[in-house]
Amino acid sequence: MSERPVRVRFAPSPTGPLHIGGVRTALYNYLFAKKHGGTFIIRIEDTDQTRFVPGAQDYIMDALAWCGIMPTEGPGIGGDCGPYVQSERKSMYRAYADQLVENDHAYIAFDTSEELTTMRDQAKQMGMPNWQYNNTTRSSMKNSLTLPSDEVQRRIEANEPYVIRMKMPRNKDIRFEDAIRSWVVVNTNNIDDKVLFKSDGMPTYHLANIVDDYKMNISHVIRGEEWLPSAPLHIMLYDAFGWEAPTFAHLPLLLKPDGNGKLSKRDGDRLGFPVFPTNWTTAEGELYSGYREKGYLPEAFINMLAFLGWNPGTTQEIFSLEELVEAFSLPRVSKSGAKFDPDKTKWFQQQYLRSTPNEEIAVQLSQLLTDNHDLASLATIAGLIKERATFVEDILTEGSFLLAQPSDYDEKTVRKKWKGNAAVLMSEWKTTLSTLTSFDAANVETEFKSFITERELGIGAVLPLFRLLVTGKGMGPSMFEVSEFLGKDECVDRIEKGLEAMDKLVSSN
Ligand code: GLU
């Protein structure tokens, strides 16, 4: 393991919105950096101009800010190793590519894309479907290894387009120790001669990534498993430059809930959960939903993500960001893919909503409501209903009866409970309530208990009737607390109106 000061980077390409897999990569980088007193950097890798999507960079920064995992160096933030957007560093890469050509680690290739396509087609016809430009085939291609040097010079001077390719040695085992996967060994015969510098004057991902990781003093590269096949080439590049390679850690894939394949951007809306941190609308106007807009708390989202591929080795599941920093370690990240679990995701949100102070929820509720409500009442509503809600918004639907009189009555409860002397009982209970001088929850409860004891009735025979008339529902929070919140007059009024409604219902049946 590297003893260098910890500097890690999240290096997304702005090719679209950040998938939750990308947010997890950012999160693990953040946790690792904070745990080791290191620096978390963001670098935008936009060397592939054909895949550039306007707005993606802003989306990424905004999403990280919402999650509360902002880097300390990056575009718009600053730092000593900037610029942090690769297209703004364009001028520096060419010299590194030239250095590799000079040292015989790379070469110039003039083959046009038409010629490459012809090669592939011919190989396919000869029963070799996976033709590659590699340490065998390069000897029959148009490059600086096969053409005389004056011819190479002539072509360059004539401005013929060319690329610079890595010169993979033959039959050499590349070994490196991945912090999650332990030793990885790949033979160079299985790696093609990757393009390092393109004919458009831009480096490819491979070259730019290595040069930047070196220049930004990156100590650990923590990234998705999909980059594992590129790691041997990266190790070779570090060797070719004579630079110390960072420690690599390749994170497990995020899988669909059934475990069948990678979680894709289409899965979310197809299966009913977001796969993006925040909403994203494509240029064509197609909306991909995000956790923020669905009402998730960023803390719940982050806690859920942390567990997709990592566990603390204990039974604790609820972790604040600070606790995650404390508990996180790369050896506890699993090698096998992590199944996304939509139900568990909701569970995390429920837990966080429950622990959010009522006063805080009240402020959010007041923003959702169009008419004015005092914050103290909204806080009481939050306290009464939040156990039954997943999102703040649910409190308004679940607890609608706390804001307005019920407009209908739960059919099932009416059918099951409104029979016999229900109307008589409720009208007597109404009379009892109207005589009370104190209407706090404890007092209503004491009265209720003596009311049913006197009549030798069980709670189950009477409380649902009371709840039905006052709230219109079959279930809900403590009726004594609901009574205290609504107050005597309102309760009595609701029972009266409920009795009338039941009367109508009964006579119409
Ligand atoms: N730009 C790459 C991506 O989009 C970064 C891979 C890496 O971290 O090396 O994921």
Here the CATH number for the domain that contains residue 249 is 3.40.50.620
At 3, the pLDDT band (50, 70, 90 cuts) reads: confident
Q: What percent of the chain has pLDDT over 90?
A: 96
What count of Cα atoms within 13 Å lies in the side-chain half-sphere of residue 206? 23
In a domain, 381, yes or no: no
Q: pTM for the complete prediction? A: 0.93
Tokens matching residue 169: 């040695």
Structurally, the chain folds into a number of domains equal to 3
Q: Is the CB of 11 under 6 A from ligand 1?
A: yes
Residue 320 lies in a domain: no
Same-domain status, 59 and 112: no
Q: Check if the beta carbon of residue 414 is closer than 8 Å to that of residue 468.
A: yes
Last residue of one domain, picked from the residues 206, 236, 269: 206
In sequence order, which residues have a C-beta less than 8 Å from that of residue 301 and are 6 or more positions away?
67, 277, 291, 348, 349
Find, among 196, 170, 176, the residue nearest to 100 by Cα.
196
Verify that 197 and 222 share a domain, yes or no. no
The pLDDT value recorded for residue 93 is 98
- Looking at the structure, do residues 108 and 185 belong to the same domain, yes or no? yes
Residues 43 and 135 in one domain: no
As a dihedral over the C-alpha atoms of residue 245, residue 246, residue 247, residue 250, rounded to 10 degrees, the angle is -100
Here the CATH number for the domain that contains residue 506 is: 1.10.10.350
- 40 within a domain of the structure (yes/no): yes
Reported as a pLDDT band with limits 50, 70 and 90, residue 32 is: very high
Nearest to 104 by CA among 168, 27, 22, 31: 168
> What CATH number should be reported for the domain holding residue 132?
3.90.800.10
Q: 27 and 33 in contact (C-beta within 8 Å)? A: no
**CA-wise closest residue to 296 among 310, 270, 278:** 278
Same domain, 458 and 436: yes
Would residue 384 count as lying in a domain? no
Same domain, yes or no, for 135 and 62?
Answer: no
Considering the domain boundaries, does residue 312 fall inside one? no
For residue 97, pLDDT beyond 70: yes
Residues 188 and 227 in one domain: no
Residue 2 pLDDT > 80: no
In whole angstroms, what is the distance from residue 314 CA to residue 306 CA?
14
> pLDDT per residue over 254-300, tens digit each?
999 999 999 988 888 788 899 999 999 999 999 999 999 999 999 99
276 φ, ψ to 5°? -125, 150
* Pocket flag, ligand 1, residue 45 (CB < 6 Å): yes
227 lines ligand 1 (CB under 6 A): yes
Where among 198, 223, 254 does a domain terminate?
Answer: 254
Ligand 1 atom with least separation from CA of 205:
1
Over residues 234-242, mean pLDDT = 98
> Domain for residue 431, yes or no?
yes
Whether 265 sits among the annotated catalytic residues: the reply is: yes
Three-state secondary structure call for residue 58: helix
Q: Which of 206, 234, 265 is the last residue of a domain?
A: 206
What is the tally of helices (H) and strands (E) in the chain? 22, 13
CA 155, 158, 161, 166: dihedral to nearest 10 degrees? 40
* pLDDT score at 506: 80
In a domain, 504, yes or no: yes
Residue 115: HSE in the Cβ half-sphere, 13 Å Cα cutoff: 12
34-38 CB contacts, 8 Å cutoff, 24+ apart: 34/325, 35/325, 35/326, 35/328, 35/329, 36/6, 37/6, 38/5, 38/6, 38/7, 38/8, 38/219
- If asked whether residues 151 and 166 sit together in one domain, one would say yes
**Same domain, yes or no: 95 and 199:** yes
Q: Are residues 422 and 454 both part of a single domain?
A: yes
Same domain, 448 and 497: yes
State which residues form the domain around 423: 405-509
Pairing of strands 254-255, 338-339: parallel
Residues 489 and 473 both lie in one domain: yes
Residue 268 lies in a domain: no
Average pLDDT value over all residues in the chain = 96
Q: Which of 205, 218, 262 to mutate to test the pocket of ligand 1 (most atoms within 8 A of CB)?
A: 205
